[in-house]
Amino acid sequence: QVQLVESGGGLVQPGGSLRLSCAASGTIFSINTMGWYRQAPGKQRELVAFTTSGGSTNYAESVKGRFTISRDNYKNTVYLQMNSLKPEDTAVYYCYLVELSQYWGQGTQVTVSS
């Protein structure tokens, strides 16, 4: 089994920054993809960004140029640096990992408000 533990969420003013972290532990064979989804109240869960084992990255159009995903393969950890945050970025952010199966974190709340 694989466990994912997220951290770094919180309350920030518009224009501010946050950095989310997601550390994977347990029986890990070979991680394929790690990334982040988010879900705002009353909305469907949407893909924010992901990174593959080959190092490629992909972002939702709404966060391009503001968010950066990175990965530390030695620590089995993925990060999401979020800059120029907007109120519409408010959501619960979920980390996920794909290897033999897909695993999810418990979610961390990000609130962007003045």
Per residue, what are the HEC states of the chain?
CEEEEEECCEEECCCCCEEEEEEEEECCCCCCEEEEEEECCCCCCEEEEEEECCCCEEECCCCCCCEEEEEECCCCEEEEEECCCCHHHCEEEEEEEECCCEEECCCEEEEECC
Gap between the Cα atoms of 93 and 9, Å rounded: 8
Neighbour tally for 104: CB within 10 Å: 13
Average pLDDT, the chain: 95
Mean of the pLDDT values across residues 48-75? 95
Which comes out higher in pLDDT, residue 25 or 16?
16
- Could you tell me the pLDDT band of residue 32, with boundaries at 50, 70 and 90? confident
CA 42 from centre of chain: 20
What pLDDT score does 50 carry?
97
Q: What angle do CA 77, 34, 47 make, to 5 degrees?
A: 130
